[in-house]
Structure formats: structure tokens, C-alpha cells
Amino acid sequence: MTWLETLGRDGGAWRVAERSDAGFTIVPAEDDEAGFLAFQAVAQDALDRADDSYRALPHRAGDHETVGWDAVTIEFLH
């Protein structure tokens, strides 16, 4: 299983909120500050690993004390 296939399944710090043929969106698994913070490493990894097979579109957090992302949309490039 590739890293992207793993990301497309619910994991410890994230869950898949939306899915389509074009891609999927991941969000924090837990709806609290600890869950938000745990999600940040996964979100940053998705951004860092983006290549010619997908792009990662982060959604900026607005209601947390810590700066980060509320969600990341993975868009397949085919």
C-alpha cells in the first residue's frame, strides 16, 4: 500500500471527510485541540509529499488558538 492509499483511509490523527473520483479531504480525527494538533503533522506531510500525481490544498484553521489547517483536500492529477 502506498503512502497516498494509506492517507485515503481513516488513520490515527485523521479521518476522511469527503471522497470523490477527483480526490478526498482529510480532517482531524478528534474535534478538540489535541486532535487538531495531532492532525498538523499529517497535513504538513501531505503538503510536503505532493508530486505530479496529486496536489494538496490546505484549508486554514480559523477557530483554534494554534495556527494550522482544519482540513487538507487531496486532488488527483490525472
Per-residue pLDDT of 48-57, as tens digits, reads 999 999 999 9
Q: Look up the pTM and report it.
A: 0.85
Q: List the Cα angle 1/43/34 in 5-degree steps.
A: 110
Decide: 72 and 25 in contact? Cβ < 8 Å. yes
- pLDDT tens-digit readout, 32-48: 888 888 998 998 999 89
Maximum separation of any 2 CA atoms in the chain, in Å: 37
Domain boundaries, the chain: 3-76
Better-predicted residue by pLDDT, 74 or 67: 74
